[in-house]
Amino acid sequence: MPHRILIVGGGAGGLELATRLGRTLGKRGKAEITLVDANLTHIWKPLLHEVAAGSLNSSENELNYVAQAKWCHFNFQIGRLCGIDRAAKKIELTAISDAQGNQLLPARWLPYDTLVIAIGSKTNDFGTAGAAEHCIFLDNPQQAERFHQQLLSHYLCAHAQGNDKGHISVAIVGAGATGVELAAELHNAAHELAAYGLNGIQPQNMNITLIEAGPKVLPALPERISVPVHSTLEKLGVRVLTASAVQQIDADGLTIADGSVVQASLKVWAAGIKAPDFLNGIGGLESNRINQLLVRPSLQTTLDDDIFALGDCAACPLDDGSGRNVPPRAQAAHQQASLLARSLTLHLQGKALPAFQYRDYGSLVSLSRFSAVGNLMGNLMGNVKLEGWLARMFYISLYRMHQVALYGLPRTALLMLGDRIGRGTEPRLKLH
């Protein structure tokens, strides 16, 4: 029987790993690769703010796991992880039910020889009163689509009333990359909706407030990046509140720690991340306060050599002696997937595994069609700041690199050509 490698989680890291291993070990019959995910399709998580604003149609940018498995020589199983039996080397998946609650598939167990956990992260509301009840999170396409439908409903209702005096207020909690990019995309969406004749709410009457508990927007980036982004947002008409921790949220708006109130009919929470709660101590493995599994530099969990973790759900120490962990970023998941594609081959052979060394290649933030800003880092170029059109091209290239890893260069080129042709035959904003 071939060695069974079970990968749980079809996000950027898990899907890239399954694809790479399928094309090597799976195709040659050296291992049986199985990917498990709770959904049937994959969309690159950094694009979800565009789905929420309507500037990206999720159905046209989804990858189907079943098709990818066929093309890349791995197996796919639908399911949601809920337990690990390390002694018996098997995982438990929850029962699957349809929309009416009818059970389609009972809880079941899947065996493994090597297990890789790559289930990503979810939004951390830090227990803020009312956040879970009144805010939309952007953890998956369904949530992004829900926000888009609510936004579109406001516009359609205002349009049906036949006047241009409507208003809509959107509050975004968290001025990291997701919050900043969503604010800019919503400003663009306001102009696009008006251009398509939905004039019940004029662009200047979409009131967007971006709220950050820290002292500046993009708190993880240097001021030479965050300052121009802050300035650009304000020029677009976005109200930016820094040093403003949200204390409570209700149906009408948000209460800031200083007692001030931000009125908002639509509320998005985009601050903080944590691994899913069920990972906390799963299978007796060690985890931290935000439920991430503790791993060694080899990406093996601290208590089990046959269980690996990568991406946002893994607490992997940086190799700089700082005591900090690898940041939860898409480039980290990509680098870890690339390493594990090589390491798991060595693991099958009983050889020593290399240590993961994170390389920060910089950050890019898109402000929709208005601008982009960021910095690129490397041994040859040092730390270079980018702005405007060039930064926008580099930003787009990040998604294309993800597509190349999944589809290969020829198919990605065809996808790019198809996107180019489709621009003239489809609305510039999703209107349904």
Q: Distance between alpha carbon 121 and the CA centroid of its chain, in Å?
A: 8
Torsion of CA 209, 212, 215, 221, to 10 degrees: -100
Q: What angle do CA 21, 38, 22 make, to 5 degrees?
A: 10
pLDDT at 56: 85
Q: What angle do CA 336, 77, 27 make, to 5 degrees?
A: 65
Residue 357: phi and psi, rounded to 5, are -125, 110
Contact status, residue 258 vs residue 248, Cβ threshold 8 Å:
no
Torsion of CA 148, 152, 155, 156, to 10 degrees: -170
Torsion of CA 155, 156, 161, 164, to 10 degrees: 30
Contact status, residue 93 vs residue 110, Cβ threshold 8 Å:
yes
Give the least confident one: 26-40, 140-154, 172-186, 414-428: 414-428
pLDDT digits (tens, 9 = 90+) for 348-387: 999 999 999 999 888 888 888 877 787 776 544 456 666 6
pLDDT at 380: 44
Q: Domains in the chain, please, with CATH? A: 3-121+275-348 (3.50.50.60), 131-269 (3.50.50.60), 362-422 (no CATH)
pTM beyond cutoff 0.85: yes
Residues 272-279: what's their mean pLDDT? 95
Residues 417-430: what's their mean pLDDT? 73
Contact status, residue 118 vs residue 309, Cβ threshold 8 Å:
yes
Other C-beta atoms closer than 10 Å to the C-beta of 355 total 14
pLDDT at 383: 62
Buried b (16+ CB within 10 A) or exposed e, 7-33: bbbbbbbbbbbbbbbbbbbbeeeebbb
Tell which residue, 245, 335, 428, has the closest CA to residue 20: 335
pLDDT digits (tens, 9 = 90+) for 156-204: 999 898 787 889 999 999 999 999 999 999 999 999 999 988 888 999 9
Q: What's the DSSP call for residue 326?
A: P
> Which residues does residue 293 pair with via DSSP β-bridges, in sequence order?
287, 314
pLDDT at 414: 86
| Strand order from edge to edge, sheet including 114-117 | 75-78, 31-37, 3-8, 114-117, 304-309, 300-301
Tell me the pairing of strands 122-123 and 273-274: antiparallel
- What's the CA gap between 186 and 217, in Å, rounded? 17
Which residues are within 8 A (CB) of 235 and not within 5 positions of it... i.e. 6 or more apart? none
> Which residues does residue 304 pair with via DSSP β-bridges, in sequence order?
301
From residue 86, how far is each of 83, 246, 348, 405 by CA, in Å?
10, 41, 18, 31
